[in-house]
Structure 1
């Protein structure tokens, strides 16, 4: 315990002697001059003179007592500090080897990261990087020894820092640099988000990011592991780095996520080649001029991409031959695109593909033809397992588009899940698509208002022996287990729908009916006709009676 008191080493002996003398003198004074005698002598002519002498003596006694009390307090504090120091020195934690203490520190840091949500891909609003950093500060503030151990453990400081890129105070800039340096030489995650949540009340423009902070982030680019920038343009800072060997080396970078980039002067800022051999994940869904990124597209396995130009996205996809998962959000073409004679590029490892198309002139436009065929004509994904296709505009599908998609599906024989939102397919075109994906287990269709008819449902019904002798052709989607049809209107009959579901259902999964069905057993059925003038399936008495029986047997089915 720290104290401003200074105590003589002979203080205990001196205090005993002085205190005994003071007490003795005080008792004698009170014995010779007690309160009643003072009052009795108050009328004496010489009392005033005597009282002044007595008052001075008494005040001096009080002062000496106060001084002695302060000395005792200081002595007590020194002894208490000695007790604390002895307990600390003899504490079991002091006997823990430094190596074990380091591991304990690392576990505390890891637990703090979990509590702060740093290990997840949650949105930034659910992440609390300050909590994780504060836990590390607490460890380093326990004692001088712990601080030394913490500062000598760079792995402890491998954490996501809550960097405020708009702060340009010298103290904050220095602290940011020091925290970034503490983790050297280990790779570190970088996350810098700059979003103006509310407009300024005084109409002032958003404060610019601090070049010094961005330079500090860029200075450790050789140690970046995962990087996420939102509303932050880091590329000018990267360009200001010393040229050195010419290329920008990022040996540890595995994931790069950039959103809400403006793109002014972006190409000029990216005139240096990147050496990032571990980079496999790129999220540039809101980045302008994404094709200017000087990276090796062929090594990417996960890609999220958005651009105003469908040609740009398609050109990039054609280079990403190692993709496993891809989500792209391009605009549609305004005119038909030529069909190339060259064979499609094979993305041999691609398993998941999400395509979200936009019109660029406001979603919901009800005019024009839909031209997106090149994405299906020029690509092939033989290992594809999941395809989600969304067209956020009510454009008309052409027969050429339906054919291109069917041919693409034929080249993906391992497809297990197909989901499509917004299409103007007719029944015959949908039959063409369903026939091209016999391995699908989950089929989801939203807002396809003219495609679900009796013709389609009959082709999906197992009439026995796979419909070989029925003249209907093979059963569509024979491996189907989950069927979701939403906002598909009501151009079908209740009895045809019931027959299709019943032909694909039996109560006991381990005891199929005889003869052996040629289709898989359904697990989930969800069908909604839509709003407006469509009839409600839930209002059909006969249909609901059949549904009730199926539900009692164990089928999860919802009709509306």
Structure 2
């Protein structure tokens, strides 16, 4: 081994400026060395002298290499430590120069707003709980002083409270000093009222967080969600929760047990601020047949109600309700909505019977749903036959059964209607019946269809029978018709001097394959330049016009010319 090889392989470092004594190389040919190693034959005198020279200087050379290896290890450790220090400085600098530190409070406010869950949209299976220390508001308020000041200065955020009352509050032991601490730090107004509740059976931290929510919400009305599959009547937090009832503005409850609803009757006379109520009843077949509750009967400001089932369970001030979404035996309470302006009805009664006609001069929006288990079919048709709605402006018909039976119309049925939605996904409507309905709606301005469109009858009707139509929404439809018929409709409405269609919403781009590309391009260009705004939900392009070289489209060449808009 030569010194040059050592200098090239091992770096010169520290006080050792030279590579140290060299080790002479073996001059005996490699073949001879292998022969000696493979046998017990002694080397010759010349060969023996060569090997002894190496042995005499090898120890010194090995010691020199060990010294240099130690120096290299020290250098490696120093460089590694320096590298770690540099990485740490880079991380600190990157963190401290992050643009998020300069985000204005107005932008942070918008970001935080998106991170919060509206209690009115919470569900019983949702893991969100405002009293959980991992909840959004508790987390962001502890990131830095700026974020804390921002969250604490927005009382409306703290006025939204989600309460998961599923599990009972476990007992705590040895919390005497903690309870005394909470007694000192709980807001004074709450301390005087709830000090007797702080006992060994209540988790002080959870009570304290609820008290802080109330304090930090200021004077804002509260938006509350309460949900549980258990009976909450004996829940330790319930007295504290009910004491805030005068501030409830929006309330959503999801209960499985009738006892849970009865537990709220204690505050039936203190719901002076309640204006929106959403109730979810589960396992209603386990409720007593004649059961009902008066919890929400005295709510002078209540105007919006949502019930997922059994409206007969609840005594509500129906006459003052303006906006309602009701599922269940809706026909029994329908006459009570004498002042409602917007109704969503989801009948589920299996046996329909004629009741008194519902007439309203206030109702402007109506949505009728035929649910999956609605029996018999034609529920919407039956419900609609009992109604007289001269001021109705918007009507939605949602079908999910085996057949979509449209209601009967005449010129006097809905004289003021301006918006119509017919939803029957994956089903073919009776287009002759549909077109007949449209014939009796001369003031219609917006038409939305969600169904399988396999006929061009609809577009023939829109040419002349809808002089005021300005919006056509086909989102959710299966457009199994010749798309040229839609362009013919646009051209025909212009020729008939009808109102200009200003908005067209498509589920997929239009596909036109024809030899007269110029003709369809001209119609489309005229419509767009005339004010038509076209939106395609699934694609950037809204139309493809392909040059067909031969009459048979199926044999058209793959090199057809493509034009997109």
Scaled by the length of structure 1, the TM-score of the pair is: 0.55
Partner of 2:421: 418
Say whether residues 1:168 and 2:169 are aligned partners: yes
The answer as to whether partners of 2:371 and 2:400 remain within 8 angstroms in 1 is yes
Closer, same or farther in 2 for the Cα pair 1:251/1:526, shift >3 Å? closer
Question: Displacement, 1:226?
Answer: 0.8
Residue pairs, 1:287-306, within 5 angstroms? 287=309, 289-306=310-327
The answer as to whether partners of 2:370 and 2:379 remain within 8 angstroms in 1 is no
Kindly provide the CA deviation profile for residues 12-35 of structure 1, in whole angstroms up to 9, marking residues without a partner as x: xxxxxxxxxxxxxxxxxxxxxxxx
Residue pairs, 1:83-482, within 5 angstroms? 114=113, 116-117=115-116, 130-133=135-138, 159-165=159-165, 166-169=167-170, 170-171=202-203, 172=205, 174-175=207-208, 178-179=211-212, 182=215, 187-193=221-227, 211-230=235-254, 232=255, 236-237=259-260, 239-240=262-263, 248-263=269-284, 264-265=286-287, 268=291, 270-271=293-294, 274-285=297-308, 287=309, 289-307=310-328, 312-331=329-348, 337-338=353-354, 344-346=358-360, 348-360=361-373, 369-395=377-403, 397=405, 402-403=407-408, 406-407=409-410, 410-421=413-424, 425-447=429-451, 452-454=455-457, 456-461=458-463, 475-482=464-471
Greater strand fraction, Structure 1 or Structure 2: 2
Partners of 1:430 and 1:402 in 2: CA distance: 10
Partner of 1:77: none
Gaps of 5+ in 1: 1-106, 195-205, 363-367, 462-474, 506-512, 530-535
Kindly provide the CA deviation profile for residues 230-257 of structure 1, in whole angstroms up to 9, marking residues without a partner as x: 3x3586356347869xx53310111111
User: SS at the partner of 2:319?
Assistant: helix
Q: Please report the RMSD computed on the Cα atoms of aligned residues, expressed in angstroms.
A: 4.7
Closer, same or farther in 2 for the Cα pair 1:275/1:544, shift >3 Å? farther
Gaps of 5+ in 2: 1-105, 171-201, 535-541, 546-565
The answer as to whether partners of 2:344 and 2:368 remain within 8 angstroms in 1 is yes
Partners of 2:507 and 2:158 in 1: CA distance: 50
Scaled by the length of structure 2, the TM-score of the pair is: 0.55
Closer, same or farther in 2 for the Cα pair 1:126/1:359, shift >3 Å? closer
The answer as to whether partners of 2:365 and 2:392 remain within 8 angstroms in 1 is yes
The answer as to whether partners of 1:352 and 1:384 remain within 8 angstroms in 2 is yes
The answer as to whether partners of 1:304 and 1:326 remain within 8 angstroms in 2 is yes
Question: Displacement, 1:111?
Answer: 7.9
Closer, same or farther in 2 for the Cα pair 1:333/1:438, shift >3 Å? farther
The answer as to whether partners of 2:275 and 2:303 remain within 8 angstroms in 1 is yes
Closer, same or farther in 2 for the Cα pair 1:126/1:482, shift >3 Å? farther
User: SS at the partner of 1:372?
Assistant: helix
